[in-house]
Structure 1
Amino acid sequence: MHTPLHSQVGSLLSYTHDQPLPAGTVVRVPLGQRELMGVAWAAPHAAALPPGVVLRPVAEVLDALPPLDAAWQRLVAFAARYYQRSVGEIVHTALPPALRKLTGEQLNRRLHAKKKPQVATQDAENSVALTAEQVSVCQQIAQHPGPFLLYGSTGSGKTEVYLHSVAQALQADPQAQALVLVPEINLTPQLLARFERRFVPRFGPQAVVSLHSGLTEAQRLKHWLAAHTGQARIVLGTRMAVLASLPGLKVVVVDEEHDPSFKQEEGARYSARDLALWRGRDAGAKVILGSATPSLESWYACQQGRYQRLDMPSRVAAAALPAVHLVNLRQQPKSTVFAPALLQAITERIQRGEQSLVLLNRRGFAPVLWCGNCGWKSDCPHCSAHQVFHKGERRLRCHHCSASQAVPRCCPQCGNPDILALGHGTEQLQEALAQQLRNVLRPDGQPARIARMDADTTQGAGQLQEQLAQIHDGSVDVLVGTQMVAKGHDFRRMTLVAAVAPDAALMSSDFRAPERLFALLMQAAGRAGRDAAFMRQQGSQAQMWIQTHQPEHALYQALQHHDYPGFARQQLQERQQAGMPPFVFQALVRSDAKTQDDAQKFLHAAAQQARQLPALAGVFIYPPIPLAMQRVANVERAQMLIEAPSRSALQKFLHAWQPLLHQVRQQHRAVVRWLIDVDPQNL
């Protein structure tokens, strides 16, 4: 059996028990001086024990818990194999932390705790009328096996398609379960509320549960057990939910499937979207990927016939997509934060009782403090990054290692008292708008209200829900926020969205940066004008404003016409010419050490070993280089890119290389850690 808490143990560990244990049984076993949770696993073959070795017995079988089924075991085994991890590490990631701490008696009490009776009533939302496009899409999902890429414009009603498809699956089979994945926790409450309104009246209060890192350990265990035992018919969660035990899985939904948050960036680096596709195929479940701006990998898969594309180009109730206005900052004064035309447009919205969203994907007041005398900058002492100026706290804070310090009263190097704040953050935009709109009144005669929503304002318990409630009830006139407010939310009074400084992404060395910027801006634009009745009542037109130094850029031109297919066509042509995914397949090998030299020496040695492998044919190994963020928390980081013409060629090479990497690691003790990242999303 694998012991999840000791994932560095790469092979199976053997124990004895007086009765044969089915694979998937959860047990407690001794390991060293401790007793830990493990999962009984089907061994490929029974190896003979070395002379004198005596196996230790299983300490306890948690037989109150049904064994984890064969489909779940296959999912874990595939994830471990594909992402080059041990099975134990994937199990450790998949199971709720609280489960690892329970004895059999404690688990039995939880499973048999008195539950509220399941009261089912008539579905209150059955009367929701589908549009013609939604009807057509739902029919195709019902008639074909999929997987499906639901390409629907923002506000086209993709969520209603999810609800309808899940309802059909649950009605057809009393044991059926559905998995709904969203990219971020802040999208969970709103979507969860819709699913609860639709399904709790019919199936009872335990029918819909959530799984995400924002839950307490007790909540996560409770929800996981409900899914594993079949009590929960629908599990809605972030990427961790893709590894949940769902014995009755019949339909999988991946909302905003393009979002990079579906790729785990620490520990076992799996892609929840890709595992959802594999899991759906293995279980015979329908998989629906939904997005207004699909990932180029998914778009290309449709072109290759591997996914079935379903289009919903129209917004519900004939609501119009926002008109896109490009503001050329080259024609504005150098210090311009908000162009006069944009300020005027926001002012008009406030005076009519409408809401505006200002998007800047950078929190804090300013990215860096700078001394004009000597050139000092607020660099982080532990990272290759600046410490960000947070004016409200009067602190400098590193967003990578969390190191912070008080803002100096003068330059630490030369004593100059005039330290300048360079660049803008959401905190600064909120302050600037409050100043420039201080004389603007709402229809009720009250002054305009400017709010900010980012990781700093939503970290406390209940703060996110409180801020969302204020936006929905109209208490906020202008919302300044990062990308967390740009997608998934349904703000009915929002009629204007503005991106004030999006150009930085165009200069990125990451080839995915244009795709992510286009998706972010399209998603942000989709927050405007979603309520057609409200727009008609106001006599207003939805608008998207973009302040840019490059209004002629092809990305902005495609955005101005809401032309995702044109943008995707141009990007795929560039990637094919450059030999980039999805036309090749990649993996990264990364090493962390106290010095950059030590980190790169390990990678050079690993490359030397790789060149001796027969499986190297067709695989290209790039030279080691530092990461873009070279040093984090006093650890130097380097990486080496591996490319192959096919997924199978890459996997064959990585499996052959893995043992050699472990050997090389033993010879390079200066390396703190190393890892393989298959299908990396950040280069």
Structure 2
Amino acid sequence: MSKTVENTIVNVALAVPLRRVFDYEVPNGYSTPEVGTRISVPFGKGNTTQVGVVVGAKNESEWESIKKIDSILDTFSTLDNAIMALCRWAASYYQHALGEVLLGALPTQLRKALPAQLPALDFWEATDEAFGLPDNALKRAPKQAEALQNLKRAPLRIGTEKEHNITLTSLKALVQKGLATRISHMPERVETVAQPAPYELTDEQSIALYSIQRQLSADQTQANSSTVTLLEGATGSGKTEIYLQAIETALKNDQQALVLIPEIGLSPQTLHRFQSRFTATIVSLHSGLNDRQRSENWLLASKGIADIVIGTRSAIFTPMPRLGLIVIDEEHDLSFKQQEGFRYNARDLAIVRAQQASIPVVLGSATPSLETLNNAILGRYQHLRLKARPGKAHTPQIQILDIRNQTLTAGLCEPALKEIEHTLQAGHQALVFLNRRGYAPTLMCHSCGWVSQCPNCDARFTLHQSPSHLRCHHCDTQRPLPRACPECQSTKLTHTGSGTEKAEEVLTSLFPEHPVHRIDRDSTSRKGSLDALLDQIHTGEPCILVGTQMLAKGHHFPNVTLVVVLDADGGLFSGDFRGPERMGQMLLQVAGRAGREQYPGKVLIQSHHSDHPLLHQLLFQGYPAFAQTLLNDRRLTGMPPYEYLAILRAECTYPDIAEQWLDQARRSAQALMPPSNQLQYLGPIPAMMERVKGRYRLLIQIKATQRKVLQQLLSALIPELEKHSRHKSLRWSIDVDPLEIP
């Protein structure tokens, strides 16, 4: 039976894994809340209170019994029309529950029944006395002078001092001198001012900038009239300077800009560069902020007060009423794809958002993803190239070192060690890249061959030395280091292979006069530790940097003139069809850290397969030729971007149960759309690592020649799968456009 009521019934999306919305009655005395408004409602048998988002209204419900809203939390739509449209599209395309998408778009504090109102914020502000000081009044205190110049340009929000490279000590000293004070007031828009560019653009940069500025100034009144631009530029070629000048144009047009970066670690340096350039309200959004900071920054953006938002992937869902430009830096990076829960790709959603708002989006990379590159080749995206580095910087010299039959010290061959020594003697810095954390990847018994194995995963324990323990890098299980072999009781335990800890230890012993800075997830786990390490490196003093891919992404090290890459061969023989692409991207990204200023750079790549044609093509013909070869292979094998993938995953503590459920799912899919030349099914098959955290993982790969066909299948299949009975320990998920085949 249906129910008709005098009061309005609203459709409410809740953060539950059900692909449906729920009907609630608006109580007497309440106005009908607008779409995008947060409300508090009772849910479930226990009537627990949940926060939901209104997605529609009507006068009749198909349900006989309808609960009433507890309260309306907002007097306005917290999620505006643009974000509502984006979330609806994302939920439909990625086949995810709309409620989880909408509530996930909100900062944590707003997922609770808290007001979506900006409180008065605390600021540091220059006093009247400060404006009367001569420019050289603080010449004996340069840090205080720099801090004061910042305060004269605009008040500084308390809590963001580090983002502006200002110390609390300097600010407190200014307060004691009567030159600064702390104030509290409601945030408001400030007049934006841009500092002059630090150098004159090259011809390539000028052409690229003009093209983007023309898009910003064009009449974007037609629906879906956004322009997607691929800005392909070698590392150090000045892509960031083009972003900055394009954003300056947007600000002059009274527009906001959204900049997405792949890693939290890049946020401080990116913020500092933007804040040094613009007197404007610039906020960051990433998981390194506490809930209060994230909520405040989100609200500053949503109310149009923040002019520039710099964030990681979830920032794509930030409401920005004056949004005029989106920039995706390092667009190829895997970090833009959410790998759990709601499996969206922020880069692709940025393109959708730009199309819905009819604004330009810039995708920047030295090594574009094959999907993006193919769209540029087909003319769907504008393709701008930067081939040279500006100023005195030059492309580094690249050399492959054949390490077959060579003696290795912590993975380093003798020629590489000699180059490191020469680099340090010249007063420069060297970077050693090893994408393997820990001391050694394997601990084994020399007597019986026992190998330390994680009890929960199909993976070996990694040996760590500081502190000494064994750890699984998949489930984080940890064990103390055994004194003897658990199989034969021998004390002849040995380790094989090298990780960043061992490389750090050996290089410290070989070069005791120079510091060795290790940068990986372990050494930077404490808050502020990465910033402290980067501050030491940026002094320019001769040192050695040892690290994982954290060092390869976007960092600018002016005094690094040598890069040594260890173990470069993994991607050549990967079981994942994307392995060679990722290998090429990683090698060129880390190689780009060398020679970014006036000093020439050198890159040494150690390999057991130094004559491999793909490696030679990448390093000596360049990424475009390398990528074209990979695209040709993808076309022949019918893989993305020429065909479209979805992965149906199931995991369970019992592998037979997961396999049986997937068998049933495949039969349901084939009943809806039988296999054909346009649609193929593979599986159930085990994941590459079948057991993780004690759970067995299996999958079905669905491949279609047309995106529309794949979406039609999934839209019909997912409701069927939700009806299937399943074991209580089984979990399943769908991944559309997967970037990893686990």
TM over 0.5: yes
Give 2:301's aligned residue.
227
Distance 2:286 2:118 in 1: 24
Structure 2 counterpart of 1:514, from 568, 576, 580: 580
2:346 is equivalent to residue 275 of structure 1: no
Letter in 2 for 1:505: G
CA offsets per residue over residues 506-540 of structure 1, 9 Å max, x none?
221001011111101101111000002xx1xxxxx
Structure 2 counterpart of 1:632, from 692, 695, 719: 692
How far 1:42 sits from its partner (Å)? 2.0
How far 1:631 sits from its partner (Å)? 1.1
Structure 2 counterpart of 1:675, from 733, 736, 740: 733
2:56 is equivalent to residue 42 of structure 1: yes
1:359 to 1:301, Cα distance in 2 relative to 1, 3 A: same
Give 1:134's aligned residue.
205
Give 2:552's aligned residue.
486
Q: Is the 8 A contact 1:410 1:418 kept in 2?
A: yes
Give 1:55's aligned residue.
67
- Gaps in structure 2 of 5+ consecutive residues: 1-10, 123-183, 216-225
Distance 1:492 1:270 in 2: 35
CA offsets per residue over residues 647-673 of structure 1, 9 Å max, x none?
111101100111111122x2x225521
Distance 1:527 1:491 in 2: 7
Give 1:11's aligned residue.
21
Give 2:228's aligned residue.
147
2:269 is equivalent to residue 190 of structure 1: yes
2:145 is equivalent to residue 95 of structure 1: no
CA offsets per residue over residues 428-461 of structure 1, 9 Å max, x none?
11111122223xxxxxxxx111110000010101
Give 1:461's aligned residue.
527
2:376 is equivalent to residue 302 of structure 1: yes
2:667 is equivalent to residue 608 of structure 1: yes
Q: In structure 2, the residue corresponding to 1:427 is in which secondary structure?
A: helix
Q: Is the 8 A contact 1:522 1:562 kept in 2?
A: no
Give 1:25's aligned residue.
37
Give 1:442's aligned residue.
none
How far 1:362 sits from its partner (Å)? 0.6
Q: In structure 1, the residue corresponding to 2:24 is in which secondary structure?
A: coil
How far 1:559 sits from its partner (Å)? 3.1
How far 1:476 sits from its partner (Å)? 5.5
Give 2:590's aligned residue.
524
Counting only pairs closer than 5 Å after superposition, residues 586-665 of structure 1 correspond to structure 2 as 586-614=645-673, 618-664=678-724
Counting only pairs closer than 5 Å after superposition, residues 485-504 of structure 1 correspond to structure 2 as 485-504=551-570
Q: Is the 8 A contact 1:209 1:235 kept in 2?
A: yes
CA offsets per residue over residues 269-307 of structure 1, 9 Å max, x none?
000000001111111111000000000101100111110
Q: Is the 8 A contact 1:254 1:289 kept in 2?
A: yes
Q: Is the 8 A contact 1:170 1:177 kept in 2?
A: yes
Q: Is the 8 A contact 1:356 1:479 kept in 2?
A: yes
Counting only pairs closer than 5 Å after superposition, residues 551-590 of structure 1 correspond to structure 2 as 551-561=610-620, 563-590=622-649
Give 2:456's aligned residue.
382
Letter in 1 for 2:699: Q
How far 1:12 sits from its partner (Å)? 3.1
Give 1:355's aligned residue.
429
Letter in 2 for 1:115: M
Q: Is the 8 A contact 2:42 2:50 kept in 1?
A: yes
Structure 2 counterpart of 1:263, from 337, 351, 373: 337
CA offsets per residue over residues 204-260 of structure 1, 9 Å max, x none?
xxx111111111111111111111111111111111111111222111000000111
1:213 to 1:600, Cα distance in 2 relative to 1, 3 A: same
Distance 1:306 1:50 in 2: 46
2:397 is equivalent to residue 323 of structure 1: yes
2:133 is equivalent to residue 74 of structure 1: no
Distance 2:411 2:673 in 1: 58
Q: Is the 8 A contact 1:22 1:67 kept in 2?
A: no
How far 1:571 sits from its partner (Å)? 0.4
CA offsets per residue over residues 620-652 of structure 1, 9 Å max, x none?
111211111211111111111000001111101
1:54 to 1:309, Cα distance in 2 relative to 1, 3 A: closer
Distance 1:225 1:161 in 2: 28
Distance 1:669 1:116 in 2: 52
Q: Is the 8 A contact 1:510 1:682 kept in 2?
A: yes
Q: In structure 2, the residue corresponding to 1:623 is in which secondary structure?
A: strand
Structure 2 counterpart of 1:549, from 608, 616, 619: 608
Q: Is the 8 A contact 1:123 1:198 kept in 2?
A: yes
Distance 1:671 1:8 in 2: 18
Q: Is the 8 A contact 1:26 1:40 kept in 2?
A: yes
Distance 1:669 1:359 in 2: 45
1:682 to 1:121, Cα distance in 2 relative to 1, 3 A: closer
1:153 to 1:272, Cα distance in 2 relative to 1, 3 A: same
Distance 1:448 1:639 in 2: 50
Distance 2:496 2:268 in 1: 36
Give 1:470's aligned residue.
536
How far 1:599 sits from its partner (Å)? 1.0
1:229 to 1:376, Cα distance in 2 relative to 1, 3 A: same
Distance 2:408 2:235 in 1: 34
Q: Is the 8 A contact 2:668 2:720 kept in 1?
A: yes
1:110 to 1:34, Cα distance in 2 relative to 1, 3 A: farther
2:68 is equivalent to residue 2 of structure 1: no
How far 1:146 sits from its partner (Å)? 2.0
Letter in 2 for 1:600: E
Q: Is the 8 A contact 1:615 1:656 kept in 2?
A: no
Q: Is the 8 A contact 2:282 2:310 kept in 1?
A: yes
1:348 to 1:79, Cα distance in 2 relative to 1, 3 A: same
Q: In structure 1, the residue corresponding to 2:455 is in which secondary structure?
A: coil
Give 1:443's aligned residue.
none
Q: Is the 8 A contact 2:439 2:498 kept in 1?
A: yes
Give 1:538's aligned residue.
none
Distance 2:19 2:82 in 1: 23
Q: In structure 2, the residue corresponding to 1:502 is in which secondary structure?
A: coil
Letter in 2 for 1:75: L
How far 1:558 sits from its partner (Å)? 2.2
Q: In structure 1, the residue corresponding to 2:394 is in which secondary structure?
A: coil
Distance 1:526 1:475 in 2: 20
Distance 1:138 1:615 in 2: 49
- Gaps in structure 1 of 5+ consecutive residues: 439-446, 536-540
Distance 2:257 2:449 in 1: 57
CA offsets per residue over residues 10-68 of structure 1, 9 Å max, x none?
3333232431221111222222432222111125x6653444x24313423321x5442
Q: Percent identity?
A: 39
Give 2:8's aligned residue.
none
Q: In structure 1, the residue corresponding to 2:305 is in which secondary structure?
A: coil
Count of matched residue positions in the alignment of Structure 1 and Structure 2: 655
The structure with more strand, counted as a fraction of residues: 2
Q: Is the 8 A contact 1:324 1:559 kept in 2?
A: no
670-679 or 257-266, larger mean C-alpha shift: 670-679
Letter in 1 for 2:720: L
4-13 or 506-515, larger mean C-alpha shift: 4-13
Q: Is the 8 A contact 1:66 1:229 kept in 2?
A: no
Counting only pairs closer than 5 Å after superposition, residues 425-436 of structure 1 correspond to structure 2 as 425-436=499-510
Q: Is the 8 A contact 2:228 2:362 kept in 1?
A: yes
Q: Is the 8 A contact 1:616 1:653 kept in 2?
A: no
Q: Is the 8 A contact 2:40 2:69 kept in 1?
A: no
